[in-house]
A and B are shown apart, each in its own frame.
Chain A
Amino acid sequence: MADPSYPDDLKYHAEHDWARIEGDSATFGITWYAQDALGEVVFFDPPEVGAEVSKDQAYTEVESVKAVSDVFAPLSGEITAVNDALGDKPETINEDPYGEGWLVKVKLSDPSEVDSLMDASEYQASLD
């Protein structure tokens, strides 16, 4: 995806991660800004299903040719699914960061944490 984009239906974390909330579950990924800063993604280290993630803590890494970036959990919970398709095609994170480039799905342990995240306009403002 060539141009910046920050969908309105997502919540954002200051470490450039997004969350799509679906009831007491959420899908996580990295933002357009994060994938652009990183450059061509070459590897996503998939965490294990069942692992606990904590809000504001790194839960995995994504790599480009010459950089490694921690990926932070915007919310706490337990990983229920991992995007295995990224194993073969990590570049999907660049091509479609909010769609096919999602990283994990999480069952939230404290849905009230959502209140602390930014909406699209707040996040965009934080980038300027």
Chain B
Amino acid sequence: MIREADDTLTIFERSKPGRRAFSPPELDVPERPLDELLSPELRRAEAPRLPEVSEPEIVRHYNRLSKRNFDLDTGFYPLGSCTMKHNPKLHERIAALPGHARLHPLQDPHQAQGALELMWRLQEALGEIAGLPHVSLQPSAGSQGELAGVLLTRAYQEDRGERRTKVLTPDTAHGTNPATVTMGGYEVVKVRSDTEGNVDLDDLRAKADEDVACLMLTNPSTLGLFETGIEEIERIVHGVGATLYYDGANLNAIMGICRPGDMGFDIVHFNLHKSFTQPHGGGGPGAGPIAVSERIEPYLPRPQVVRREASTNGAEPFYELDHDRPKSIGRLRGFQGNYGVFVRSYAYICSLGAPGLREASETAVLNANYLLARLRREGVMEYVPVAYERLCMHEFVLSGEPMRRELHIKTLDLAKRLLDHGVHPPTVYFPLIVEEALMVEPTETETKETLDRFAEVVAEILKEAREDPEVARHAPYTTPARRLDEAGAARRPIVRQAM
């Protein structure tokens, strides 16, 4: 028997025959027998068992659920490599304007000039930020941008009569990189990091041969460090005829300061849900546009948004979808991409302009270095030392290994105890090359006071662990749920409501 007060009742468990939230519009055409329109053998045996609930119940149900979520608008969210920066409220208002929100994707371009111009202007802006001249907005998220990059590399090289088989990824890479490489039909070859946290140039030289199609690189890396050898990396990779791919997960560190194109990258993806403020939505939507160099352009996905200058003086230019791209890798998804995301991200670029974007990156890097310095001053480095003693960029990585050894609490325990302090933990156990890793990205939108508080909380938790490690080991205590049995969930998966 489930109690009414149980706040984990699902919407299906709240269902009661006879309740409803929907009243259908009137049937205003002559009714024909159902069997005549859709014979019984084409129809399902019984209606889908969707919940039967009234509108007030639905509202209460999801409001209750919402209160069991932590979110960026409520508190500090220093989740490394995720760039949890403020999501401006203006963006939801403009994205909801009917001219954007109710525009059909198959509308004739003549009737969608505002949307196509917006997309074209966003392409231009992203191209300028990347330092690469051609942009496709199509990819749905970062990993689809990566896939585009691998497919573009293949198309470009095959057009030159080359069939290469391997793609290099550093040992610090996001999991999407190797997963994408396999999906794109290549073999992954891992490149080591050196003692400074850079790509090991000797290892790169040894592995970069004529079979290598591409090097996928995140710069700053997932360690939050800028590849100081980037110019040499470029020479090595291009020296064997491979392409250089820039994973834009960490672009937030360098906007207006340096550009992937100027570093020699051929292909870049952007995460509009990271650097460009698309709200993350609890796991999407995002968008993963790509910018490419001249030599890669012919292969970009179809269709491309293009601007045609007016033939007569004084007339407006015309924006259209160019499907006639014979060397294109084809489509990665339907229609023109996540337009609603483009609206928000382009609004962000318009709001900040060139000085604002640069200031955002500068402040992101300032905040990260300040937080690292504050943690030092709190005296926590004995237990959670920074993985590489360098100036960091927009994020840094700590190792919880001494803490595990000395205080007998793991990085996971520290993360869970942070929850009791109203802070979202950093990314944990990534990158893989740092033991008990904690990856901290404060972003530019946090105040100094918030950063101070975080440093103090970490110190407090370590102090508490010195006295009694059991407290952290069983944390959290104050959250909507306590530690969950993930092993049980995976052993005997329950992935839908039993009816």
Contact = CB atoms under 8 A, between A and B. Distances in A.
Interface stretch (B19-27, B65-73, B156-164, B485-493): B485-493
Nearest to A42: B490
Contacts of A91: 487, 491
Contacts of A65: 486-487, 490
A64 B491 contact: no
Interface in B479-498: 486-487, 490-492
Q: For A42, A88, A91, which residue has the most chain B Cβ atoms within 10 angstroms? A: A42
Contact of A43 (B429, B486, B490): B490
A65 B429 CA distance: 13
The A interface, classified by DSSP as helix, strand, loop or mixed, is loop
Interface string A87-128: 011110000000000000000000000000000000000000
Interface residues of A, number: 12
Contacts of B491: 42-43, 89-91
A43 B365 CA distance: 42
Count class of interface residues, chain B: under 10
Contacts of B490: 42-43, 63, 65
A40 interface: yes
A79 to B, nearest CB: 23
A11 B329 CA distance: 53
The B interface, classified by DSSP as helix, strand, loop or mixed, is helix
Interface in B323-368: none
Interface in A33-92: 39-40, 42-43, 63-66, 88-91
A63 B487 CA distance: 10
A42 B488 CA distance: 8
B475 to A, nearest CB: 18
A65 B487 CA distance: 6
A37 B486 CA distance: 17
Contacts of A63: 490
A88 B486 CA distance: 16
Contacts of B486: 65
A88 B491 CA distance: 8
A39 B490 CA distance: 13
Contacts of A89: 491
B278 to A, nearest CB: 28
Contacts of A64: 487
A15 to B, nearest CB: 19
A83 B487 CA distance: 20
A122 B486 CA distance: 36
Interface string B420-451: 00000000010000000000000000000000
A63 to B, nearest CB: 8
A82 B354 CA distance: 64
A91 B491 CA distance: 8
B404 to A, nearest CB: 15
A89 B492 CA distance: 9
B484 to A, nearest CB: 10
A15 B487 CA distance: 24
Nearest to B491: A42
A84 to B, nearest CB: 15
Nearest to A66: B429
Interface in B210-229: none
A92 to B, nearest CB: 11
Contacts of B429: 66
Contacts of B492: 88
B395 to A, nearest CB: 22
A66 B487 CA distance: 9
Interface in A12-49: 39-40, 42-43
A66 B486 CA distance: 9
A66 B411 CA distance: 15
Contacts of A42: 487, 490-491
A10 B443 CA distance: 54
A81 B265 CA distance: 53
Interface of A: 39-40, 42-43, 63-66, 88-91
Given A63-B490, A90-B491, 10 more contacts: A39-B487, A40-B487, A42-B487, A65-B486, A65-B487, A65-B490, A88-B492, A89-B491, A91-B487, A91-B491
Interface of B: 429, 486-487, 490-492
Q: Which 9 A-B pairs have the closest CB atoms?
A: A42-B490, A40-B487, A65-B486, A42-B491, A42-B487, A65-B487, A65-B490, A90-B491, A43-B490
18 contacts: A39-B487, A40-B487, A42-B487, A42-B490, A42-B491, A43-B490, A43-B491, A63-B490, A64-B487, A65-B486, A65-B487, A65-B490, A66-B429, A88-B492, A89-B491, A90-B491, A91-B487, A91-B491
